[in-house]
């Protein structure tokens, strides 16, 4: 299954995208998938929509779904905090509930 949420992400003055709303959204949904597995549901996979910011029919380029920021004019990419959270979640097979996420 896949899911994601669109937010008004922006690059802060330090060059980071701190998308804590997306992390909270993903935490809830990944936890629900984990609960479903514990209840015996045969979950084959979970995917975040989307890896990259892209054109969305409802929003055009104004709202961002990706866990990687895309500067549309230049094509430059920047990993968001949600990228690092999701990477760590996959790596450890556990959901961390943090109020701040580092880009370690």
Residue at 103 is within a domain: no
Collapsing DSSP to helix, strand or coil, 77 comes out as strand
The single residue listed with the structure tokens 């230049």 is 74
Say yes or no to pLDDT of 96 above 90.
no
Which SS3 state, helix, strand or coil, does residue 35 take? helix
Containing structural domain, residue 69: 2-92
Residue 99 has a pLDDT of 56
For position 100, what pLDDT does the model report? 54
Distance CA 43, CA 14 (A): 39
What's the pLDDT tens digit per position in 7-38?
Answer: 999 999 999 999 999 999 999 999 999 999 99
Domain count, the chain: 1
Cβ–Cβ < 8 Å for 43, 37: yes
Is 97 inside a domain boundary?
Answer: no
Q: Is residue 98 part of a domain?
A: no
Structural tokens at position 40: 């015996």
């Amino acid at each position: 299954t896949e899911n994601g949420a669109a937010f008004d992400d922006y690059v802060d003055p330090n060059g980071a995208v701190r998308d804590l709303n997306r992390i909270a959204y993903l935490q809830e949904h990944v936890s629900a998938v984990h609960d479903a597995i514990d209840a015996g549901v045969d979950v084959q996979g979970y995917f975040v929509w989307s890896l990259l910011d892209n054109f969305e029919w409802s929003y055009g380029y104004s709202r961002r779904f990706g866990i990687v920021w895309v500067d549309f004019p230049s094509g430059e990419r920047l990993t968001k905090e949600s990228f690092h959270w999701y990477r760590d979640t996959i790596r450890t097979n556990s959901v961390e509930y943090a109020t701040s996420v580092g880009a370690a």
